[in-house]
A and B are shown apart, each in its own frame.
Chain A
Amino acid sequence: MVAYQYYPGCSLHASARDYDESVRGVLGHLAIKLEEVPDWNCCGATITPSLNQLQSQILPARNLALAAENRGDLVVPCNACYMSLKKVQHNMVKYKEIREGVIDIFSQAGLSLTGMPEVRHLLEMIMEDVGLAKVKEMVTKPLKDLKIVSYSGCQLVRPLGFDDPEDPQALDQLMEALGAKVLPFSQKSHCCGSSLMTTQPELAFKMVDSILEEAKKVGAEMVVVTCPMCQLNLDAYQGQINNKFNRTGQLPIIYFTQLMGLAMGLSKSQLGIQRGIVSSNKALEKIV
């Protein structure tokens, strides 16, 4: 059994339990073992860097230090966590003052940094280690005729991401492997507004609206995401956005792991599909 270290991030223990359930469900089905990093903490996401640069490195760095005590790559399902962990890793290697600052603060807290694990997004791991061939092999219920757009979001692909930042391909390929019909989508890596949804909702509404409207226009039945932040922003505010911009219709926002699970024959409840705010029942009617 292949083993990875797993950093779920705060969302997957709270608002994105459905993501966590589907990740564990699918990887279990694929015989991949996940070991949750013990005593992990919040990565600080995009909020802490605006307050204090050095201190914002400490939160992700501590997670890296904890993970370094065990073997295996660190698999991260959330785009924001992925980016903060990758970024601090990059900064520690590249900038002496950050490296020394982190080591200094660590020593005050009795921590030490013995090494750094490879940080990988869950999608990256599935694409590279599992591979499309294996995924296709595992598919028992192809997502036939399900018209989707894949929305990778911005932090998966930049600045240190693994896919084409302007026109990401991995999620499209994975969805095609599941048998879904992937529609052309210009908003694949546009920002969903992230935490602006709480600080400047007007601006975030506009950003989400642009993504959802384009998805509706190309004829998508659902939007596939790789990040709990994107999922929440796109899913939770559709009523308000429709009122504000005079739009009609709602689109279910689903995690890629949920669709993987369905295609591999797992049940909806195993994958937390009932937890979405906009119901996906209708869109999924034809496949389950």
Chain B
Amino acid sequence: MKRVGVFICHCGTNISAAVDCEKVAENAKSFPGVAYSTDYKYMCAEPGQELIKKAIKEQKLDRIVVASCSPRMHEPTFRRCIESGGLNAYLLEMANIREHCSWVHPDDKERATIKATDLVKMAVAKVMQNEALVRSTIPITKRALVIGGGIAGIQAALDIANTGHIVDVVEKEPSIGGRMAQVDKTFPTLDCSACILTPKMVDVANHPNVNLITYSEIEKVEGYVGNFDVTIRKKARSVDLKACTGCGTCIQKCPTKVPSEFEMEMMDRKAIYTPFPQAIPNKPVIDRENCRYFKSGKCGVCQKVCPTNAVDFTQEDELVTERYGAIVVATGFDLFDESVYGEYGYGKYKDVITGLHFERLLNASGPTMGKIKRPSDGKIPQNVVFIKCVGSRDEAKGKAYCSKTCCMYTAKHATLVREKIKDSNAYVFYMDVRTPGKGYDEFYTRTTDQYGAKYIRGRVSKIYEKGDKLIVWGEDTLLGRPVEIEADMVVLATAMVAKADAAKLAQMVGFSYDQNHFYTEAHPKLAPVETHTAGVFLAGACQGPKDIPESVAQASAAAVKVCGLLSKEEMPTEPIISAVNEAICSGCGMCVPVCPYTAIDLKVIQERIHGKTVSRKVANVNSGLCQGCGACTVACRSAALNLKHFTNEQILAEVDALCL
């Protein structure tokens, strides 16, 4: 005789405000198989769990229904709870009476209570059919992959490597360093970005446990947590990294000039180049699209002048496949295309630039050697106008979200204008000034009070050129009057957006992203660095706009999660997978192509029928690859495939409980 215990949670008032929990518990007592039923204010809390364990013992319960929230968060909690109470974890069923009931029917308690009762009735019917399932284990490959070599990727790699695990860092660009390498100074301390970044770049490059794979991209990801098989495309660098000494002679002699991406195209680089002086590896790469040799077959100067014969025009892209236990995705961000704001004339007026351009103008190794000069004529600007929220918080033309970093870097820019240019004016147009963060608001206050930056609350409606000035029209909404400024330079605080290929990578690795193509964390509060895909973690601005301290913190958090995983020899697998009833499997193979995880193949079995040995084909599920999606069970015409814990019988029992 099966003895089911039913536990109805109030979730504070989240459920009990809309559902009469006592009544649901009372109703449940009459359901077939129910031996015990009760309700409690917080079932997930320690006393609630104790209540369940005590009841298992005292009431001799052998299966449990918890009616509370979505199983996404607390199914593991209650599984652990009943396991420590002596039951198999899979003899638990949850009825979601919060998201599926109280939250969506807040105004009709009577009917919400009836619905909650029905949901519990279904869960009881199902749990009666549940079977004890046993987890098996899979080995864990003790090697981590970090995708992206910006500050987040570097930090995550260092933290993982320091615990003794091997890490591969795959970076798309010829050098690691990412966006932080482009930044001049950092807020709120104004220390130089390169001074704090480059030592970390050197550390990660020299670390015995870190393997840098630059100028490379992820081509394919297969497998699952503990055993991801990742194919990496090492793009042809045309320079032999081992032979090259980084002397730079080739760069000097190269005749082809190309606008430098790193310098925001305000300066030229050569066709054979390193993106910036502190690049790691500090060895050049040939940009084949612009190289004279690759375009016309003539030139080859770099090869002639190289003292170590490192230039190799015949190099080809190389594909390597490696197995990893865990993946950290730290692919960073791009900038919003502000040319959609025609009224600001970005792209039309040379002296309307983005914050990242301005960083390069501030930088001692940038196009102006650190002197703030106008891109148009090289003059030092006296009046600099900053416009915040260009592309951010603008549902009509840009993105709905706040890019989070712009308030602070604009304050930094305004401070530096006032510090570096005598008698200059820094005007900042803003919607709000948002400066939460340690030392941030103090920095902003200093910008206005000590450095005298002029903050104007309002939007800019129009910028146009008049002679060599940029006339900026805006509104001061605090004074309620129009503002006109004759500016020498305008800096747009451009929104941070997801990388153009963010969605492609997410689909390849197999995790989710939001409507803005930022990667989705498993839980916004309690699992901020995990994804819904086991073994894949997030760090930095690929998950959403972030500044440097936050990216570093998230990277370290992701590293801890990776180390936690890699510290084990093997890990338990989810037993909720498909099983084949070989007796009725006809071997039609319909299930093979529908499986998204390539977990099913056909195998040959021998049978004795009427005294004769016959061999025939049946479906075979690879328990390591099966993720329990159930697609095959729908495709199977003879119902030979059944998903454990969601068998046809179990689902039908629920339907019967509701409808009969």
Contacts and interface: CB of A to CB of B under 8 A. Distances in A.
B465 interface: yes
B348 interface: yes
Contact of A166 (B345, B465, B466): B345
Contact of B342 (A164, A186, A190, A217): A164
Given A164-B342, A166-B345, A190-B462, 14 more contacts: A165-B342, A165-B343, A166-B342, A166-B343, A166-B462, A167-B342, A167-B348, A186-B464, A186-B465, A186-B466, A187-B464, A190-B464, A214-B466, A217-B467
Contacts of B345: 166
Interface in A179-236: 186-187, 190, 214, 217
A166 B344 CA distance: 9
Interface residues of B, number: 9
Contacts of B464: 186-187, 190
Interface in A136-186: 164-167, 186
Nearest to B467: A217
Contacts of A214: 466
A187 B342 CA distance: 14
Contacts of A167: 342, 348
A214 B469 CA distance: 13
B168 to A, nearest CB: 48
A42 B236 CA distance: 70
Nearest to B482: A203
A189 to B, nearest CB: 9
Interface string B435-471: 0000000000000000000000000001011110000
A215 to B, nearest CB: 12
Nearest to B464: A186
Nearest to B349: A186
Interface in B318-353: 342-343, 345, 348
Contacts of A187: 464
Nearest to A165: B342
Interface of B: 342-343, 345, 348, 462, 464-467
Contacts of B462: 166, 190
Contacts of B342: 164-167
Contacts of A190: 462, 464
Contacts of B466: 186, 214
17 contacts: A164-B342, A165-B342, A165-B343, A166-B342, A166-B343, A166-B345, A166-B462, A167-B342, A167-B348, A186-B464, A186-B465, A186-B466, A187-B464, A190-B462, A190-B464, A214-B466, A217-B467
A217 B467 CA distance: 9
A190 B343 CA distance: 11
Q: Which 7 A-B pairs have the closest CB atoms?
A: A166-B342, A186-B464, A166-B343, A186-B465, A167-B342, A164-B342, A165-B342
A138 B345 CA distance: 36
A217 B466 CA distance: 10
A217 to B, nearest CB: 8
B385 to A, nearest CB: 17
Task: Give the interface centre of A165, A186, A187 by most chain B CB atoms within 10 Å.
Answer: A186
Nearest to A214: B466
Nearest to B348: A167
A170 to B, nearest CB: 15
A167 B465 CA distance: 13
A186 B469 CA distance: 12
Contacts of B467: 217
A164 B343 CA distance: 10
A87 to B, nearest CB: 18
B270 to A, nearest CB: 34
Contacts of A165: 342-343
A167 B348 CA distance: 10
A153 to B, nearest CB: 14
Nearest to A217: B467
Nearest to A187: B464
Nearest to A186: B464
A129 B342 CA distance: 27
Contacts of A166: 342-343, 345, 462
Nearest to A184: B465
A218 to B, nearest CB: 11
Contacts of B465: 186
Interface string A10-46: 0000000000000000000000000000000000000
A164 B342 CA distance: 9
Interface in A78-104: none
B444 to A, nearest CB: 32
Contacts of B348: 167
A112 to B, nearest CB: 36
Task: Give the interface centre of B342, B343, B345, B464 by most chain A CB atoms within 10 Å.
Answer: B464
A193 to B, nearest CB: 13
A191 to B, nearest CB: 10
B350 to A, nearest CB: 14
A183 to B, nearest CB: 14
Nearest to A189: B462
A232 to B, nearest CB: 23
A187 B462 CA distance: 11
B39 to A, nearest CB: 47
A40 to B, nearest CB: 34
A173 B465 CA distance: 22
Task: Give the interface centre of A164, A166, A187 by most chain B CB atoms within 10 Å.
Answer: A166
A190 B462 CA distance: 9
A186 B467 CA distance: 11
A166 B464 CA distance: 10
B466 to A, nearest CB: 7
B47 to A, nearest CB: 55
A209 to B, nearest CB: 12
A214 B467 CA distance: 9
B91 to A, nearest CB: 57
Nearest to A164: B342
A175 B306 CA distance: 57
A34 to B, nearest CB: 33
A186 to B, nearest CB: 4
B339 to A, nearest CB: 11
Nearest to B342: A166
Contacts of B343: 165-166
A214 B464 CA distance: 11
A64 B309 CA distance: 79
A166 B463 CA distance: 10
A190 B464 CA distance: 10
B395 to A, nearest CB: 16
A186 B465 CA distance: 7
A114 B462 CA distance: 40
Nearest to A188: B464
B606 to A, nearest CB: 73
B199 to A, nearest CB: 46
A217 B464 CA distance: 15
A10 to B, nearest CB: 29
Nearest to B344: A166
